[in-house]
Structure 1
C-alpha cells in the first residue's frame, strides 16, 4: 500500500486560537493491523462519529478542544491533523469517511514501530501547534493519547518504554492503551459497556514518569462509544469543586469542637448530558441554555466552588420522588492535584466512611447550598436545597429537592384496598432493571443533520462563476494538514516526572460501625 503521510506541500496556516480550556487535546491512534479490522472499522467509525456530533452540539466551552487522528498500517499515517472540533465537524466527518474506506483485509504485519512513530509525530505536532497559539492564549496546555489496538497492551507498554526514553513528554497528561477484543475472546455473555482489564502492576503503568492506562473493550458500538464519551467529562483538577460540610464527628481521628464543621472535599461529575445544552430541538428552533443557573449546581464547566451544608438526615423511604427535580450529579472524592497526598488519602477515607454509614442506616442527607458571593447591595439570599443519596459504588448522588415556595398543592385519593386486577399488563415484557443503553431516540441522526445543514445552504452561483462542464472535479480524499510535519529525531531534552503513586490504598478502608458517630447528631 502506498504511503499517504502528510507532506510539506500540504502546509497551511494554523486555526485561530480560542479561549483557554482545561480540557486536554486528544490524539487517537488506531492500529488497523488486527485480523478483525473488518468488524472493528465499522463500529469504531460509528462510535467516534456519535460522540463527536455530541461534542460539537453542546453549548458552552468545547469539551474536546483539539483532535488528531492517526492510523497505523505498515507505517503511521495522519488522517486528521489537529482540528478544533466544534468548528470542524465537516473535517472530522471527512476523516471518519476515510477511516471507513481503509482496506479491510487486516493483513498488515504486527509488531512494527508505527504506533511509536505516531505517538512521536503527534506530540511534535501538538508542541508546534501550542507554540503557535501561545501568544493568543493556548486552547489546551496538555494532550492525552488513546491507542486502539488488538495487540497485547503489556507488550505495547514495553515498546513505548523502550522507544520513548528520549522524547519530551512534558505536555503529555496521560496515555491510554485500549485492547479491542472480539466477542469470541470475551465471556459468552459479554457486557455492553467497557470491560475493565485486570489491574496492571505498578511497573506496567508507571513508566516514563507518567501513567499508562491499559484497558480492554469489546468491539461493538456501545462499548467504544462509552469509551469516547469519557472525553466529555470535566478534566479540570486545579481545585476541588464541592465542599460537603458535616457536623464534626468520629473518623478515628481527633475530634474538633462541636461548633465546628467537618469538610469533605469533593468533585462533581455529570450523570447525564443536559438536553437543554444541545444546539437544537426537535422542532428546529435554537435554544439558549444557562449553563450555570443561580440556584442549581453545574458540574461542567467547573467555574465555582459549591458548599453544601448538611442540615438533617432523612430516612430513605420517607423521600417522595415527586419532590426531586433537575439533573442528578455524582459526588466523588476530589482528585485536586494541589492537595498533598496525606490530605487526599484522609479525605477519601472519610468519604468512604460516610457512604458506608449512610447505607447501613438507610439514610439520605438534606443539604443547603451556602451562598458563594453575597453582593453588599443585595442582602437577600435565595437558598437551594439538595438530597444526597448514598451508593455502594463509593460515590454519592445529589439532586435538587423542592421547597415550600415551589410546591404546588396536590390532593389525590388513596388507592382502594382491593381492586380487581386488569389483564392489560399481562402481555408486557418485564425487565428486572432499567438499562438506558437499550433505548435510543435518534438524537445522533438529528444532531448530524443539524450539523450538516449549513453546508447544504449554498446559494446558486452566477453562470459566469460556475465551473465549466468539461473541467474534471477535484476529489478531496483526505483532510489537509494544518501543521507541517516535523523531523522524527528525538528531542535533546529528556524530561522525567515522578512516577505516579497508586491511590487505591483507601478503596477498602471503610470504617467499622463505631467510626460513624458523626452521623449521630443528625438524628
Structure 2
C-alpha cells in the first residue's frame, strides 16, 4: 500500500553499553513488531536511564553499520532488491555539539561510504524554534568531518508531542537527491507553430513531495471504506522510479493555460502533490540555479495572470504493449510559496451527468435570517 518510504528500520539504545532493541527488519508488514519495540522503550520512564560511556555511541554506530552490510549480503543474494545506503539518526538529551565532536573523533577510522546521512538530534526542554530541515554543525575544530567522508547534521527540537511528531513525519518524505522526479515540459518561447513547440519544449526539472498521507494507509481501513483513489498515472510509483535509470523520468507536458477562476474543484480527484525545483546533486550548480530561477519565474507568472496549467502525464515507456495505457491529466496551481500544487483532473469520459442550475439571487428573507443566525454560532 503506497510507496516504500523506509524499506528497513533498526533501533539501538545506548546507555552504559549499546543494545540492539530491533535488528534490521522491513517496515512494511511489521507494524506489530515495531509497536512492541516502542513499548519496550517506554519502560525506560520507569526504570530510568544512564549517561552513555564515551565509546558506547561509536560502537553502536559501527555495530549498526556492520549489521546493515550483513543484512544486505544475506537478502540481496538471488534477489532483485538492493539496499545501497542507510541514514543514521541519534536522538539525545545531551548537548548536541559535544555528541558531534565525540562521533567525529571516534569514527575517524570507520568506513562510512554506505552512510548517506549521519544526524544528531538534540532534544531540549527549552522553547526553541523548530526548523524543517536539519542544519549542519558550524563548529568543527580540525575539519574532522572531512575525514569521515560524510557530514554530520545537527538539529535541535523541543521535547513536546507536536515537535516530535513533525520530526518523525519528515521521515516519510522522499528526501533523496540522486535523481529528479518530474520533468515539467513547457512550450518553448521560440517557435512559430505548435509542432515545433512539442519538438523543443522548455524543461523544468522538479522533485515531487506528498502533501497528505492517504487515509487508506491507516490501520483499520483495509476494507477500503476510506480509500482515496490515486491518479491513474500513479504518482506514488515515482519514488521507486527515482532509483531507476535516467530514462525513467515521469513527464508532465503542459498543453493549456486556464483561468484559475474557471476551475471547478469537483473535477479533481486523488491526493494532491507538491512540485518544487529539484535538488538533484548530479546536476551542476549553474543548471540547478537556472532551473530554480525559471521555476520561480513560472510561479510568479501564474500568480500575476491568475492562471493554472493543464498538463498531460507521460509515464516512462515500458516497451511494447497491446493495451494502451489510459492518459491522465493534471492541473498545476501556483501558491505564494515557491512550489506548485498538482492534482489529477477528470476527463469528460469519467464525468457523470449532473445539472448545475444557477443559484437564485434572492433567497427568502426568513430562510436567510435562520441560516445566518446558525452560522453566527459557529463563527
Structure-1-length-normalised TM-score: 0.60
For 1:257-313, what per-residue CA distance to the aligned partner results, in whole angstroms no more than 9, with x for missing partners? 8662101111222212223455752xx637898997644533554335321111222
Instruction: State the alpha-carbon separation in 2 of the partners of residues 198 and 122 from structure 1.
Output: 22
Instruction: State the alpha-carbon separation in 2 of the partners of residues 124 and 267 from structure 1.
Output: 32
Which of 397, 410, 427 is the matching residue for 2:355? 410
Instruction: State the alpha-carbon separation in 1 of the partners of residues 333 and 294 from structure 2.
Output: 16
Instruction: State the alpha-carbon separation in 2 of the partners of residues 91 and 376 from structure 1.
Output: 43
Is 1:226–2:166 an aligned residue pair?
A: yes
Aligned length: 356
Q: Could you say which residue in structure 2 is the equivalent of 1:113? A: 55
Cα distance change on mapping 1:198 and 1:337 into 2, 3 Å: closer
For 1:325-364, list aligned pairs within 5 A.
325-364=269-308
For 1:222-301, list aligned pairs within 5 A.
222-234=162-174, 237-249=177-189, 260-277=200-217, 280-281=220-221, 285=223, 294-298=232-236, 300-301=238-239
Q: Could you say which residue in structure 2 is the equivalent of 1:445? A: none
Instruction: State the alpha-carbon separation in 2 of the partners of residues 400 and 153 from structure 1.
Output: 44
Q: Could you say which residue in structure 1 is the equivalent of 2:377? A: 427
Instruction: State the alpha-carbon separation in 2 of the partners of residues 287 and 327 from structure 1.
Output: 16
Is 1:387–2:331 an aligned residue pair?
A: yes
Q: Could you say which residue in structure 1 is the equivalent of 2:244? A: none
Q: Could you say which residue in structure 2 is the equivalent of 1:95? A: 37
Q: Could you say which residue in structure 1 is the equivalent of 2:115? A: 172
Structure 1 residue 101 displacement after superposition:
0.9
Is 1:186–2:131 an aligned residue pair?
A: no
Structure 1 residue 125 displacement after superposition:
1.9
Structure 2: give runs of 5+ residues left out of the alignment. Answer: 191-195, 242-247
Cα distance change on mapping 1:91 and 1:383 into 2, 3 Å: closer
Contact 2:97 2:137 in 1 (8 A): no
Instruction: State the alpha-carbon separation in 2 of the partners of residues 213 and 85 from structure 1.
Output: 24
Q: What SS is found at the alignment partner of 2:256? A: strand
Q: Could you say which residue in structure 2 is the equivalent of 1:439? A: none
Q: What SS is found at the alignment partner of 1:122? A: helix
Contact 1:270 1:300 in 2 (8 A): no
Instruction: State the alpha-carbon separation in 1 of the partners of residues 41 and 319 from structure 2.
Output: 54
Cα distance change on mapping 1:323 and 1:67 into 2, 3 Å: same
For 1:140-151, list aligned pairs within 5 A.
140-151=83-94
Instruction: State the alpha-carbon separation in 2 of the partners of residues 406 and 261 from structure 1.
Output: 29
Structure 1 residue 245 displacement after superposition:
0.6
Structure-2-length-normalised TM-score: 0.80
Cα distance change on mapping 1:372 and 1:299 into 2, 3 Å: closer
Cα distance change on mapping 1:90 and 1:260 into 2, 3 Å: closer
| Cα RMSD for the two superposed structures | 3.5
Cα distance change on mapping 1:136 and 1:296 into 2, 3 Å: closer
Structure 1 residue 325 displacement after superposition:
1.6
For 1:105-126, what per-residue CA distance to the aligned partner results, in whole angstroms no more than 9, with x for missing partners? 7673477333222212211222
Instruction: State the alpha-carbon separation in 2 of the partners of residues 277 and 106 from structure 1.
Output: 35
Cα distance change on mapping 1:179 and 1:196 into 2, 3 Å: farther
Contact 2:333 2:341 in 1 (8 A): yes
Q: What SS is found at the alignment partner of 1:421? A: helix
Q: What SS is found at the alignment partner of 2:374? A: coil
Instruction: State the alpha-carbon separation in 1 of the partners of residues 298 and 93 from structure 2.
Output: 41
Cα distance change on mapping 1:87 and 1:197 into 2, 3 Å: closer
Contact 1:277 1:288 in 2 (8 A): no
Q: Could you say which residue in structure 2 is the equivalent of 1:521? A: none
Structure 1 residue 390 displacement after superposition:
1.5
Q: What SS is found at the alignment partner of 2:269? A: strand
Which of 240, 246, 258 is the matching residue for 1:302? 240
